[in-house]
């Protein structure tokens, strides 16, 4: 019973607080009552002391002074920017300013160092080393490459054993007969041509030519197979007709 009475009391007080709340809020805002913030105690004491010593001070402050307003109307302020002095600084030959501000194209995405620590390679040098070794192993042997790039023969040997430059596979088709499977030509190691990454446009043309050659070979083989099948079917048909005619006789 007590809980029900308490809930009823809260409901009634809530309704009473919210009764006509909008109109009461509008009336309060229309009064335009300005409540200044309270001043500190020390400031309030100084204001009271000034009012006792100079009772007409607040009246003078709040009164409009026509004389000062007239003087203010006669005041005119004009401002002009001072001329800029062109200072020509003497160029320091030891620290010249850059004449060209274009950013150089980075071939591998980062700036290549001018000097390399012995026993190390840049990405460009590593690709050159692998390409030279794949193109001519006798001329650019492991020993000569180790001397050229300031590496140990063991490191160069591991490098050429475990890393390779991309190769372009070119197939060669025999012209005699159609018994050559063009798909098995890719297993011939003699048809692998090393790609020179320093001359990609030419290597791209070689790759396109090899793909076209492979496609032509596959087409030629498929045509030959279809012709052989048609010949065999016609021969089987003729032989069956001959057998039937001999039986009838």
- Report the alpha-carbon distance of residue 235 to residue 64 in Å, rounded: 128
Q: What angle do CA 86, 92, 97 make, to 5 degrees?
A: 80
3-state secondary structure 23-85: HHHHHHHHCCCCCCCCCCHHHHHHHHHHHHHCCCHHHHHHCCCHHHHHHHHHCCCCCCCCCCC
Site of tokens 């390679």:
121
| Residue 249 domain flag | no
What are 107-123's pLDDT values in tens digits? 777 888 888 888 999 88
Strand partners, 194: 167
Task: Quote the domain boundaries for residue 157.
Answer: 123-162
Of the candidates 140, 149, 145, which has an alpha carbon nearest to the alpha carbon of residue 120?
Answer: 149
- At 196 the pLDDT is 52
- Report the alpha-carbon distance of residue 116 to residue 126 in Å, rounded: 12
* Highest mean pLDDT pick, 42-46, 216-220, 244-248: 42-46
3-state secondary structure of 169: strand
| Residue 189 domain flag | no
Tell me the pTM: 0.31
Q: What number is the average pLDDT over the span 173-202? A: 48
| Residue 240 domain flag | no
Residue 128 CB contacts under 8 Å (≥ 6 apart), including other chains: 198
Phi, psi values for residue 170, rounded to 5°: -120, 130
Count: domains in the chain: 1
Token readout for 169 is 């596979």
CB 139: neighbour CB atoms within 10 A? 9
Q: What number is the average pLDDT over the span 223-237? A: 58
| Residue 190 domain flag | no
3-state secondary structure of 124: helix
What are 124-133's pLDDT values in tens digits? 889 899 989 9
| Residue 155 domain flag | yes
Cβ–Cβ < 8 Å for 176, 165: no
- Give the mean pLDDT of the chain: 74
Confidence of residue 166 (pLDDT cuts 50, 70, 90): confident
| Residue 46 domain flag | no
What are 30-59's pLDDT values in tens digits? 776 677 788 899 999 998 898 888 888 878
Length of the chain: 249
| Residue 171 domain flag | no
What are 154-164's pLDDT values in tens digits? 999 999 999 88
For residue 208, pLDDT over 80 is answered with no
| Residue 133 domain flag | yes
- At 238 the pLDDT is 55
For residue 219, pLDDT over 50 is answered with yes
Task: Determine the angle formed by the axes of helices 123-135 and 153-162, rounding to 10 degrees.
Answer: 80
For residue 180, pLDDT over 60 is answered with no
């Amino acid at each position: 019973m007590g809980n029900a009475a308490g809930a009823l009391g809260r409901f009634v007080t809530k309704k009473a607080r919210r009764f006509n709340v909008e109109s009461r809020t509008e009336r309060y805002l229309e009064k335009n009552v300005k409540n200044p913030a309270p001043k500190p105690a020390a400031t309030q004491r100084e204001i009271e002391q000034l009012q006792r010593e100079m009772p007409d001070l607040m009246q003078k402050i709040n009164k409009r002074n026509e004389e000062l307003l007239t003087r203010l109307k006669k005041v005119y302020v004009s401002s002009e920017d001072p001329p800029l002095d062109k200072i020509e600084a003497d160029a320091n030959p030891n620290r010249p300013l850059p004449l060209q501000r274009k950013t150089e194209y980075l071939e591998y995405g980062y700036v290549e160092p001018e000097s390399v620590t012995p026993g190390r390679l840049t990405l460009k040098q590593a690709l050159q080393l692998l390409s030279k070794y794949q193109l001519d192993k006798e001329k650019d042997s492991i020993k000569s490459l180790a001397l050229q790039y300031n590496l140990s023969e063991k490191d160069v040997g591991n490098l050429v054993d475990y890393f390779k430059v991309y190769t372009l596979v070119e197939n060669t088709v025999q012209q005699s007969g159609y018994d050559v499977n063009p798909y098995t030509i890719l297993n011939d190691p003699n048809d692998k041509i090393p790609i020179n990454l320093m001359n990609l446009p030419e290597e791209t043309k070689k790759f396109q030519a090899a793909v076209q050659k492979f496609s032509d070979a596959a087409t030629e083989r498929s045509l030959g197979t279809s012709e052989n099948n048609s010949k065999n079917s016609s021969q089987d048909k003729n032989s069956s007709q001959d057998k039937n005619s001999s039986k009838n006789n």
